[in-house]
Structure 1
């Protein structure tokens, strides 16, 4: 069970002052407002329910914990074993502070923030200065009112997109889908141990998942795209429930995205018991337009983008001329890269000092010259676009996959669990096929599909991320399968060969 620093302090006070502690005493000890205490108490009431403990308020005494001795001892044990949030770095802490301020409906004081994030008020002031500078890149600002605390104010759509980006960068796909699977309509009390994921309500995540599932539009998107869709929808639900609405319309080039958004929000509206404004539909349609959830379309379809096709062709030709490899004859590269660029150019990037993805860094380190060439040529053929390092890494993967592409080999039955997208999946398949002849078939699956997989049928399970609590033996690999990893895989398969079919 997870408790925030403030929730943990309230519970410790309630256990210490078992005769009761007043609203005013909690405000003074925590250095927060009356509304904040009400909100924390309301959250704790739900959290304590599975422990058979009630949090009540009695006249003349204040707040009390009611439960049998065994339940109270269990709560003390939970608190003693509870780890405080460790953000690992100053940058991660500043992301968490920004995310919290984006979620909060009321102003926060420097003292209360310092308490929650386990730093001194002086350190918190330094953190807030950096947060304030980062917000200058968006239509948002840190509003300070002496004696009344501080809050982030500004454009609602920017707030949601920035919050989505911060939460997404703070949670991995396995933890996200594990938490989502624990949520049921009759039991929404499960709390994630991840600080960022806890900023989205379980109710909103559940409703968002139902809306997306019923739409049946996203079976073919990657895990990280699905996480981002679910997050932006859940964040929007929480914001709508707080009466914070989108107040501008977003132009959409394709009416299809608007229809998809309408379909999803009709389900959401019924579940949350309110009608959804047209601007909300327009906002969600804009988010969906940045998701490549359709099969890549061929050049004979009416919706084929001639301008984009020309740019991609020119990019591939220029990279071929600048490198020692001719990519121009690889039609798969052209179609896959066209689909990727179509989505990438529509995507709303939020580059809040995000640390580089370590897996993409390995790709870049593997192909440094190719990476530099692609980066240079993108500026020539897509001069109006700005690509962050992560997006450049994914574009590089398409070219790297072309280098590694080869006919299928034969061997053992292998499952690869990969959350990083179609480009990463393809380079994995390519390297396994080319360099591990012991493999007969390779299936790549997303983390979100794990409930539908019969793991027992595979001779070897590989994963690009850590899978805590996974009951089958598996081996972690990098998306590039470097030489030492390939050698180790071949050795493992050779040792298993006596169990493989002839």
Structure 2
């Protein structure tokens, strides 16, 4: 039997310890948790041949289980297993890395010598590598007497490096201290070198600072992907591997991106046009993705998720006689969760929810109520208990949001979503009323918050920071974890609240008032010019989309260029997905453009019906127009998004149908006032 050196170390660790978590194994063997799970699949198959099994216990760890005699026999056999330096996947990864590093072919025996493997073994690995390279427009060249090399455009080589990194590296590898990389497993160490670990955090700090100024936010995965691509580009350039004219996009050379110069100045060397164009492409794609993530709740499939969330909230609220509809955070969090969840449920994909038994125990009544509401509101979709469990956490957070008393400032990090993080915060506050949460943060935000703003980080995941800076617990806070947190609090330095902190608190109060003012100003800027218009039909002409948009824009007195640009954007948006609101005769026409200087919110009543949708069957009698500048402040972006979310409320739709601006404007104003108040009650950072 053959096992890799790494697999042997994992087996020995599990045999000598009663149990170990994946993160503990990863730390001991110096590999990523993802690699641990990959190896465990192979180890599980190996153990089954000896009558043993690999068991994973939620919250405890991984253990080898079986009869004592079988365990002793396996330990004896393990001593006689043949050990190789690297597993097959590791060898193939290292081979690709070595070939990507070189500008010239490498001899086959050189690769075999470096990998401590036989030449036939490396030859077999190369046979398997070749076909995969074609996905990136690359080719494996192998000639007797010539050697081995990867041939193709540099852009393809960078894409291959990105794929290898995604397969073998975790976020903690990328964001962890550079000193840890020196002691990592050879494959991890080589990949970190290929992706430019040495300057990864430099790029991260630069992008972080720029993103803080942007009204849009990337998701964690998109943010990490952007950093990885930029870092790989820098690493390849430093290694002498530059994009050629066939790789770059020359037409982008004249396009300026606000993030380009800060990035180029971080690495002050001569940047060829092809590399500048590539960076512009990466930054522009990221900006577009961030804007897409901030799209209105009603856009494309998000409309279905937002509508489902609103119906569930209303149904559960009525059954429990609780005004859940007033909780904007619940709507946002549940809609965000349902967008991918509904797709999973339609495809009948199986998911795991290790917290389900405890959720059903702690929230039995809420679970039953939500199950009934889901059967009633989500017709045609079978909602498994595992999905219901996650949804219960959002509702539980809303129901338990209230309690007080908090002199210790803490931030919370939870990857399970906004609902579960807030639920965890509420449960902690019940046990420790002295804790005040300054906000919910993602893992990559947590290490960037100034230390003077908090005394404690509570996280449900491992963080790439010093262990003494945070305490790790599960989302449902067990009794053991409650005691663990109590001990952690007792160890906090006493008298952290000084007179200077009091001044800081006053200052933060002033900042908070300024931010409230920003939101209030945004509301006034949007609502003050609001008006209702009648759009008369043209005799003998059908009410086509282009004609209706043209007549709408004529009421705004735009320049000729602005008129044409906005009209084109609105038509293209309709092609991407109908803007008609299901179940109504209303459509929301919305876009952002550099030609728009101030936000526009207007309602148009059509004399003639407009027919939208793929088959032209959606009748539209009213158009709510929402235009905004390309660059928006975050308060303005959220205010516009909140107005669009009002379209999920039947009462608001009925008011729009009446078409009375003197009624519509006060209603929107009142709803936005509640929205602003809920943000501060929920302790959210705007």
Q: TM-score, normalised by structure 1?
A: 0.52
Q: Does 1:476 align with 2:456?
A: no
Is the 1:417–1:447 Cα contact (8 Å) retained in structure 2? no
Deviations along 1:203-225, whole A, 9 cap, x unmatched? 76477457536645578656654
Which residue is 1:405 aligned to? 397
Say what the alpha-carbon RMSD is for the aligned residues: 5.5
Is the 1:408–1:434 Cα contact (8 Å) retained in structure 2? no
Gaps of 5+ in 2: 1-83, 314-318, 341-349, 358-366, 368-379, 382-386, 495-686
> CA separation in 2, counterparts of 1:152 and 1:319?
54
Is the 2:457–2:470 Cα contact (8 Å) retained in structure 1? yes
Q: Does 1:236 align with 2:236?
A: no
Is the 1:179–1:192 Cα contact (8 Å) retained in structure 2? no
> CA separation in 1, counterparts of 2:445 and 2:195?
19
Which residue is 1:350 aligned to? none
> CA separation in 2, counterparts of 1:159 and 1:319?
48
Mapping for residues 448-463 of structure 1, pairs under 5 Å: 449-450=446-447, 452-454=449-451, 458=455, 461-462=458-459
Mapping for residues 135-284 of structure 1, pairs under 5 Å: 135-179=133-177, 193=184, 194-201=189-196, 205=200, 208-209=203-204, 212=207, 215-217=210-212, 221=218, 225-240=222-237, 241-245=240-244, 247=247, 249=249, 259-260=257-258, 262-267=260-265, 271-277=268-274, 279-284=277-282
Is the 1:139–1:155 Cα contact (8 Å) retained in structure 2? yes
Question: Deviation at 1:139?
Answer: 3.2
Which residue of 108, 120, 123 corresponds with 1:110? 108
Which residue is 1:36 aligned to? none
Which residue of 479, 489, 492 corresponds with 1:487? 479
Question: Deviation at 1:232?
Answer: 0.8
Mapping for residues 275-294 of structure 1, pairs under 5 Å: 275-277=272-274, 279-285=277-283, 287-289=285-287, 291-292=289-290
* Change in CA separation of 1:156 and 1:404 when aligned onto 2, cut-off 3 Å: farther
Is the 1:205–1:230 Cα contact (8 Å) retained in structure 2? yes
> CA separation in 2, counterparts of 1:125 and 1:317?
59
Describe the SS at the equivalent of 2:421. Answer: helix
> CA separation in 2, counterparts of 1:457 and 1:265?
31
Deviations along 1:98-141, whole A, 9 cap, x unmatched? 34444443333433333333333333333333333433544334
Question: Deviation at 1:192?
Answer: 7.4
Q: Which has the higher contact order (CA 8 A, sep 6+)?
A: 1
Is the 2:104–2:149 Cα contact (8 Å) retained in structure 1? yes
Gaps of 5+ in 1: 1-84, 183-189, 300-304, 321-325, 344-360, 371-379, 382-394
Which residue is 2:599 aligned to? none
> CA separation in 2, counterparts of 1:170 and 1:153?
23
Deviations along 1:64-103, whole A, 9 cap, x unmatched? xxxxxxxxxxxxxxxxxxxxx977x543554444344444
> CA separation in 1, counterparts of 2:489 and 2:204?
42
Question: Deviation at 1:272?
Answer: 1.7
* Change in CA separation of 1:488 and 1:215 when aligned onto 2, cut-off 3 Å: same
Which residue is 1:132 aligned to? 130
Mapping for residues 309-388 of structure 1, pairs under 5 Å: 309-313=302-306, 332=329, 335=332, 364-366=353-355
Mapping for residues 56-67 of structure 1, pairs under 5 Å: none
Higher strand share: 2
Is the 1:461–1:473 Cα contact (8 Å) retained in structure 2? no
Deviations along 1:175-210, whole A, 9 cap, x unmatched? 433446x8xxxxxxx967433111234676477457
Q: Does 1:437 align with 2:437?
A: no
Is the 1:438–1:494 Cα contact (8 Å) retained in structure 2? no
Larger radius of gyration: 2
Which residue is 2:522 aligned to? none
> CA separation in 2, counterparts of 1:451 and 1:141?
42
Q: TM-score, normalised by structure 2?
A: 0.40
Q: How many pairs are equivalent?
A: 353
> CA separation in 2, counterparts of 1:334 and 1:251?
43
Is the 2:175–2:464 Cα contact (8 Å) retained in structure 1? no
Is the 1:142–1:153 Cα contact (8 Å) retained in structure 2? yes
Describe the SS at the equivalent of 1:130. Answer: helix
